[in-house]
Structure 1
Amino acid sequence: MLTELMHRLGRYLDAPDEWLPSLNRANGSTRQQRTERSVACVQLLRASLKYLDLVTMRVGVPSTGGGMQNLTLPFLAKQAGLDQRRAERAMRDLQKAGLTSVWPRCERINDGNYRGLAAIKYVPPALFGAFGLAKWLRHERSKAQLRQQMRAAADVKQRRGDTREHARGRLWMAGLKNGVAECADRSRPGPTGASRGKVVDAEAEFERQIQIRAGQIKQADPSLDHETCFRLARQQLALPRR
């Protein structure tokens, strides 16, 4: 649908008053908008539509956490193939015509001054209606909203699953530590048989290292089962299975 609107915007160049009269009169003159100015407006609109979020009708790039990264005018000008001055003039015309809404933003810096940020830009649904795409837009926005809700639900489910798996991994590690402590207690040599005690100590230390490494593998990948963790631990320690 966005591609179709980009294509239909070309009709404005052939009949400005028929398709977007508000843009044709944006310069405050009764004369028809000059061709190069019309082309700049159309190109800037097309560049904005490339990054349009249908749910919010906001121009930008989705960022982590469900936010939106705003785009600067120089970036859109480059996408539209326009120089900075012509892009600025086209943006003013689009705002006057009601075809783009711009909300300036700034942030305070350390010295108490303010620094400008990329403005928030919106494209009105009326632009689609002007080219006979209002019904199609409503349909696509409903689909986009559904996809967004499904992604959000999947993210919540994934986070819950990760939390459960990591909790299980921590409990498993605690159980391994307790088992290692019991094994070490049983392996301590008595008053006699010192040489046998050294062998037992070596075996106990080997098993302790295996269990610790298996626990680390489980924490790194909670989806692995008990047997796989121990098999990988033995392989990584490069010692044969006893």
Structure 2
Amino acid sequence: MLNVSRENAILSIEICRPDKKNALVPQMYHDMALALESADSADIKAVLIKGSHGCFTAGNDIADFMSKNEDKDIKDTYRFMMSLVNCPVPVVAQVEGLAIGIGTTLLLHCDFVYCDENAKFAMPFINLGLVPEYASSYILPRISGNLKAAELLLLGETFDAEKAYECGIVSKVVSSEELPNLISQTLTKLVDKPKMALVQSKALLRNQKDDIEKHILLELEVFAKAMVSEPAKEAFSAFLEKRPVNKHLFK
């Protein structure tokens, strides 16, 4: 479900679960965390995160998420996200197809985000009776402005690559044919830089790490309470049962 490789000072993490649109399960979060935690080794200068078969990730596998120990699932996800937040070298994301839920959230912690023109994004937490996660409610207003952040997080609707670019979530939008070359060129440029300067420059750029970590914990506290609320229970049940949501329970 995950392909990890190390070549030419690049750590590549490919999400590979095409039959489920690369939806994520706890073991995948665990394995991605282990891979990212190894990025501080001397021979790694950049990290690439991408999806397989023309899809980044559809986010959490809801059926799997609801059938297992929620505390453990959150710990696996938290470990992955914190390893991404604390990754010392630049992280490049290659986004094709869907980037849903945490698939969009994690992009906020990458240093270069390139997507194809057909990519689709969404942070639909509010539609599931939940709240924003992993500092998205902290970072988005700062990069997009309060009005655009409210539109993305309070409506929870799917948005296209152009909107993602306007909101500062992606660095550049190109065609599907151009995307691999752009990714390769960027990684090559990064690998050619002095390692110490690369790491120190990223640390200086990402100078709000303490505030971000505090906000992540605040969001998780609210998220945990929301998970056991009636609206969330109804939203998840409706999703699994493939039926309309009973909005009378959304109080």
Q: Which has the higher strand share?
A: 2
Q: Which has the higher helix share?
A: 1
Structure whose alpha-carbon radius of gyration is higher: 1
Q: TM-score, normalised by structure 2?
A: 0.20
Q: TM-score, normalised by structure 1?
A: 0.21
Larger RCO, structures 1/2 (Cα 8 Å, 6+ apart)? 2
